[in-house]
Structures are given as structure tokens and as C-alpha cells.
């Protein structure tokens, strides 16, 4: 089977690596323009990427060292409730079933603890809601459910040497990935050494099949080369090199407010304090700002819409509140809030931002790419690796739901905030009331597609506990949330379980290293951040330029 991929960013090389490993007897050629630069700001990702690396047998420590990527244990939402300095750090902690409660805490976490969770069974969140109603747990979901706040609030690395304090099967960490280097790392260390052909060229012609205008017959490159394939993958981002040749039906996310960003990289003044182990997502007057720590710098961006504020006012607030030591002048980005209704058709499929984009909140893009690569392998297998009459229905349905789930979750961050200090936030609150978004949270929490089993089939993207976590952090009335009736003794046992984990984590955390100091010693070979930047990052940059 021959597959041609257009686009050499993260979407292209992630898809190439995945298909090359999991599609049998495949030949893959990736076409990358030599003249299109990548904009690296810093990409916060979800736990999907941890699984992506594991499935490809990629060494976590090697990948981090070569790209300047670091561990991430949560996402800290600042000023989202009232805009008065309040914060809630969303850490990772998948729901577990009643069976896990009835085992000793020393047993640890197994994959069955996640897989056995069902929307119609008793979940750990049922116990938490009951204890919350009784006032027996901290209102903060993170502080009373996932417990990892002892590491994020103190900026500690939960590792001793290479051994993790966090349960290995609990999907308890993700990464801040350096997008400037991630694609190149996959290309040079995984894809090309395993047989993917890398061609630097521009597509100058798309020749459609004479018998079916939904299929591509061949591509013409500026080198004069002609390419035929069984499957053509468009991973060219907003350029949509292949997709723009077809009549595409789009779904627009009109309720989502933001479609523009100013982005800028910052240097560290004091990495021990500034290199935090979580993403900062700070609500601003007319949108929000992300702040992502990499090993050699920070990546930031102000997300907004010109429907509410001018570029000049955004830049003024951005400079005053965020930009301490900028590495360049902020760069402006713009996107359409939409997705393809059918990203797969004929012998063509769109992945990554080509298929659609919502906005950067909740670190969704690379996770969506991972889901699409996973589902693409299943779609090909179900069609016996024959794209002549490819059935795209399941693929399109699941990827559509994935991106819709992302859009819904991002939207309620805005619409359920209690802020009313600007026209932006007042408009968001009115949308939340008009469309009853409190009920949307409950519906998502109860949806079977929001379990880890649903997520493993790329049906849901955000797990059930995160919808509840947002409701708690945004101070919604949790007494209205449905829950299964639980035995009184089990409630007492759940209280003891949560208390034990909290005390154990609190005391144990005293023995762990500062996040930056740990990364320096165990990941970056005792190279301080500036030294790594000068000796590794700049060396790699020069090789790429050459």
C-alpha cells in the first residue's frame, strides 16, 4: 500500500510514524515544503501524547532532552471565576470504579480500574459528590480527588531518579512539547530510519480521478515528479493543499468567541521559580493567555476576538501583564472556528488543523492528531487496506465527535464563568444561560463516550471527571448533579481512601526535588537551561537551516 502525506509539521510526521508502524506492508512518502517556516510557541499537550510515545516505543527521556520538552502535571486556571486572583489547578486523575475502592490503596492503579468504569455503574466521582454534599471534602476537586496539588503548588517533580511517585497506569502526566523540534525529532529518529521517504518539494498540481472526482489520481511536484498513491493525507495545516481542490462541507463553531492570537516567547529570569510543572491559563479582560514552560524558554499567547477588542488594546494588556523578557515582537495569528464534516472521503483524508481547529485552550490539538492517526489505522483495517471503495463513516463520525467535544468543553469555560467586568464576559454569561450550559456539563459527565473506554475509541476527548472538575472550580451548584446511590459504609471507606492519599502525598512530597533542578539533573544531563539552549537547541537549529 502506498500512502502520500502532504505537510511536514507535527500532524504530518505523527501520522507518518503511526501509519508506518501499524499499517502492514505500507510505503509512505511525506512531501514537505522547504520554504514554509514553523512557528514554535510551545505546545501544552494531553495524556494522549504520553500514550502516543509509548506505542511508538519512543524513549521519554531521550525525546525530552532532544526537544527541550518538560513534564506537565496539570493546567492552572487563574481568574476564571470572578477575576480576582482565584485559581484552580486541573490535574490528571481518571475516574475509577467501585472495585478499586474495595482494594487496598497499596494495590496501585491498573488498566482494569479505568476500563471497568461505566456511565451506569458506581464511580469514584459518585463518592466524591456525596462527600461534597456533606461538607467532608475540600471544594477544590484537585485538592480532594486527584491529590497531585502537593507537587504542582510546590513546583516539585514527583520522581526519585527515574522512579515515579505517581501511579504508572493512571495517566497522571503529560508534557509541554517544543513544537519547533517535535516534528523534526519524529522525522529523524522514528519515521525516516524506519523507511518513510522524505521529499522536499511543493505540490503544483492535483489531478483527480477521471471516474470519481472525490479521488486523487496523482500529484505533480515542482520538481517535475508525479506521485500516485492508494491514499493521500493532507496534513498541510491551514494551507489545505489538497482539500482546497474539493468542495468541502464545514461545521462552524459560531458560539465560540475567539479566533485570533498574539503569541510571543519569553526568556527565563529564574528558571527554578518560573519553570513550573503545569500550564498557566489566565483569564484576561477580553479572552485568556496561555503560559507554557519549556526547558529553554516560555511560550505565551493572548487568545481573543476583534468582535470585542482591538489589536491595540490586546497588545497593551499583553505587554503590561505578561511579557517580561520577550524574545521577539508578538506575532498575530488568525483561524476559522470550524471543522470538516467529512475529513475522510474517496482516497483522501485530512488530519490536524487541515481538518479543523477550535482554539488552543485545554491543549487539544496534538491529542486530536493522535486520535485521528489511531482511527485512520482502524478505518484502513476495516476496509482490508483497500481504498478503492473506502468506507469513511465510522472515522468521520468519531473524529467529528472528538472535535465537537473539544469545542463544547472550551465553550463552557467561558460561558459558565461568573465574571461580568467587561462586555466580553457579560456576553459569554448570556450565552451560557441561553443554552443551559450547566446542563450540558451534566450531560457530558453522564455520556458513556466520556469514559476512558469511550476515549480509547476516539469517541470522547475529555473524560467524565473533567466536566465535574470544571463545575466545581467554576462554583456551580453540585447538589443538582446526579449520582448513584452508594452504601453508607462505602462512603466512609471513600472518605478514608481520599484522606489517606492526600496525607500520603502531602508528607511524601517533602522528599522531592524542585521541578527545574530535577529536569536539569535527570533529563538534561546536568546542563543548565541556558547551556542546553546554546549547545543543543542552537546546534539543531543550525543543522535545520543548513
In a domain, 53, yes or no: yes
In a domain, 438, yes or no: yes
The answer on 7 and 145 residing in a single domain is no
The answer on 246 and 193 residing in a single domain is yes
3-state SS string for 315-363: HHHHHHHCCCCECCCCEEEECCCEEECCCEECCEEECHHHCEECCCHHH
Region 102-120: mean pLDDT is 78
The answer on 351 and 321 residing in a single domain is no
In whole numbers, what is the pLDDT of the chain averaged over residues?
A: 93
The model's pTM is: 0.95
CB–CB of 331/39 below 8 Å?
Answer: yes
The C-alpha angle with vertex 259 and arms to 257 and 260, in degrees rounded to 5, equals 125
In a domain, 527, yes or no: no
The answer on 198 and 65 residing in a single domain is yes
In a domain, 369, yes or no: yes
User: Which of 8, 333, 58, 394 lies closest to 203 in space, CA to CA?
Assistant: 8
As a whole-number percent, the residues of the chain with pLDDT over 90 amount to 81
The answer on 342 and 211 residing in a single domain is yes
In whole angstroms, what is the distance from residue 229 CA to residue 84 CA? 56
The one-character DSSP state at 249 is -
The answer on 295 and 322 residing in a single domain is yes
The answer on 358 and 303 residing in a single domain is no
Region 462-480: mean pLDDT is 94
Residue 433, C-beta contacts closer than 8 angstroms, at least 6 positions apart: none
The answer on 343 and 324 residing in a single domain is no
Q: What pLDDT is recorded for position 328?
A: 87
Q: What pLDDT is recorded for position 545?
A: 37
**pLDDT value at 40 more than 70:** no
The answer on 410 and 477 residing in a single domain is yes
Q: What pLDDT is recorded for position 541?
A: 58
Q: What pLDDT is recorded for position 458?
A: 73
In a domain, 399, yes or no: no
List pLDDT tens digits, range 388-405.
899 999 999 999 999 999
Query: 179-186 vs 60-67: helix axis angle to the nearest 10?
Result: 130
The answer on 412 and 506 residing in a single domain is yes
In whole angstroms, what is the distance from residue 275 CA to residue 180 CA? 18
List pLDDT tens digits, range 208-235.
999 898 999 999 999 999 999 999 999 9
Domain count, the chain: 3
Region 330-348: mean pLDDT is 97
List pLDDT tens digits, range 258-316.
999 999 999 999 999 999 999 999 999 999 999 999 999 999 999 999 999 999 999 99
In a domain, 221, yes or no: yes
List pLDDT tens digits, range 56-76.
999 999 999 999 999 999 999
The three three-digit cell numbers of residue 235, written as one number? 496534513
In whole angstroms, what is the distance from residue 208 CA to residue 351 CA? 20
Domain holding 305, by residue range, is: 260-334
List pLDDT tens digits, range 437-464.
999 999 999 999 998 878 777 778 999 9
**pLDDT value at 5 more than 70:** yes
As a whole-number percent, the residues of the chain with pLDDT over 70 amount to 98
Q: What pLDDT is recorded for position 457?
A: 74
CB–CB of 80/283 below 8 Å?
Answer: yes
Region 339-361: mean pLDDT is 96
Whole-angstrom CA distances from 469 to 86, 91, 93, 239 are 15, 10, 10, 37
Rounded to 5 degrees, φ, ψ at 6 are: -105, 120
In a domain, 372, yes or no: yes
DSSP letters, 96-129, are: -BHHHHTS-GGG---HHHHHT--TTS-BHHHHHH
Q: How confident is the model at residue 544 (pLDDT cuts 50, 70, 90)?
A: very low
Q: What pLDDT is recorded for position 283?
A: 97
Domain containing 206 — which CATH number? 3.50.50.60
CB–CB of 70/176 below 8 Å?
Answer: yes
**Residue 200 pairs with which residues in a beta bridge?**
32
The answer on 141 and 5 residing in a single domain is no
In a domain, 206, yes or no: yes
Q: Which of 312, 334, 356 is the last residue of a domain?
A: 334
The C-alpha angle with vertex 112 and arms to 147 and 405, in degrees rounded to 5, equals 70
Q: What pLDDT is recorded for position 35?
A: 78
Q: What pLDDT is recorded for position 380?
A: 97
Q: What pLDDT is recorded for position 110?
A: 77
The answer on 493 and 346 residing in a single domain is no
**pLDDT value at 353 more than 50:** yes
Amino acid at each position: 500500500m502506498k500512502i502520500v502525506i502532504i505537510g511536514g509539521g507535527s500532524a504530518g510526521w505523527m501520522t507518518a510514524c503511526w501509519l508506518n508502524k501499524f499499517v502492514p506492508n505500507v510505503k509512505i512518502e511525506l512531501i514537505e515544503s522547504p520554504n514554509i517556516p514553523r512557528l514554535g510557541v510551545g505546545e501544552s499537550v494531553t495524556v494522549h501524547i504520553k500514550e502516543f510515545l509509548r506505542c511508538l516505543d519512543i524513549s521519554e527521556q531521550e525525546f525530552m532532552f532532544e526537544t527541550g520538552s518538560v513534564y506537565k502535571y496539570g493546567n492552572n486556571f487563574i481568574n476564571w471565576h470572578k477575576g480576582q486572583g482565584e485559581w484552580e489547578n486541573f490535574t490528571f486523575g481518571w475516574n475509577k470504579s467501585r472495585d478499586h475502592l474495595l482494594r487496598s490503596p497499596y494495590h496501585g492503579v491498573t488498566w482494569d480500574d479505568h476500563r471497568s468504569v461505566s456511565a451506569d455503574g458506581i464511580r469514584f466521582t459518585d463518592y466524591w459528590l456525596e462527600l461534597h454534599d456533606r461538607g467532608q471534602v475540600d471544594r477544590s476537586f484537585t485538592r480532594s480527588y486527584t491529590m497531585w496539588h502537593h507537587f504542582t503548588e510546590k513546583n516539585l517533580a514527583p520522581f526519585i531518579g527515574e522512579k515515579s511517585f505517581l501511579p504508572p497506569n493512571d495517566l497522571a502526566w503529560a508534557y509541554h512539547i517544543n513544537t519547533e523540534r517535535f516534528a523534526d525529532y519524529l522525522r529523524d529518529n522514528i519515521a525516516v530510519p524506519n523507511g518513510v521517504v522524505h521529499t522536499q518539494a511543493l505540490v503544483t498540481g492535483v489531478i483527480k480521478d477521471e471516474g470519481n472526482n472525490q479521488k486523487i489520481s496523482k500529484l505533480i511536484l515542482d520538481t517535475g515528479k508525479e506521485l500516485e498513491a492508494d491514499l493521500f493525507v493532507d496534513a498541510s495545516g491551514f494551507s489545505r493543499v489538497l482539500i482546497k481542490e474539493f468542495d468541502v462541507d464545514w461545521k462552524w463553531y459560531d458560539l465560540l468567541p475567539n479566533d485570533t492570537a498574539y503569541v510571543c516567547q519569553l526568556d527565563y529570569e529564574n528558571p527554578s521559580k518560573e519553570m513550573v510543572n503545569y500550564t498557566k491559563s489566565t483569564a484576561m479582560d477580553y479572552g485568556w493567555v496561555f503560559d507554557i514552560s519549556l526547558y529553554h524558554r516560555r511560550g505565551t499567547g493572548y487568545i481573543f476576538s476583534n468582535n470585542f477588542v482591538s489589536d491595540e488594546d490586546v497588545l497593551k494588556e499583553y505587554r503590561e501583564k505578561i511579557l517580561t523578557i520577550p524574545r521577539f515582537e508578538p506575532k498575530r495569528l488568525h483561524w476559522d472556528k470550524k471543522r470538516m464534516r467529512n475529513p475522510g472521503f474517496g482516497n483522501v483524508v485530512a488530519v490536524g488543523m487541515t481538518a479543523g481547529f477550535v482554539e488552543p485552550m485545554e491543549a487539544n490539538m496534538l491529542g486530536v492528531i493522535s486520535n485521528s492517526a489511531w482511527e485512520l489505522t482502524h478505518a484502513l483495517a476495516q476496509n482490508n487496506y483497500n481504498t478503492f471503495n473506502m468506507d469513511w463513516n465510522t472515522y468521520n463520525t468519531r473524529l467529528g465527535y472528538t472535535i465537537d467535544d473539544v469545542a463544547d468543553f472550551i465553550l463552557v469555560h467561558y460561558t459558565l464563568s461568573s465574571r461580568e467586568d467587561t462586555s466580553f464576559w457579560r456576553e459569554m454569561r448570556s450565552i451560557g444561560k441561553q443554552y443551559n450550559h450547566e446542563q450540558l456539563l451534566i450531560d457530558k459527565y453522564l455520556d458513556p463516550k466520556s469514559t476512558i473506554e469511550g476515549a480509547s475509541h476516539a469517541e470522547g476527548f475529555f473524560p467524565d471527571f473533567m466536566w465535574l472538575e470544571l463545575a466545581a472550580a467554576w462554583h456551580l451548584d453540585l447538589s443538582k448533579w446526579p449520582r448513584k446511590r452508594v452504601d453508607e459504609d462505602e462512603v466512609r471507606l471513600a472518605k478514608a481512601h481520599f484522606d489517606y492519599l492526600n496525607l500520603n502525598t502531602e508528607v511524601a512530597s517533602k522528599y522531592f526535588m524542585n521541578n527545574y533542578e530535577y529536569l536539569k539533573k535527570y533529563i538534561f544531563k546536568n546542563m543548565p537551561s541556558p547551556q542546553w539552549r546554546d549547545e543543543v537547541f542552537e546546534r539543531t537549529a543550525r543543522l535545520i537551516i543548513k
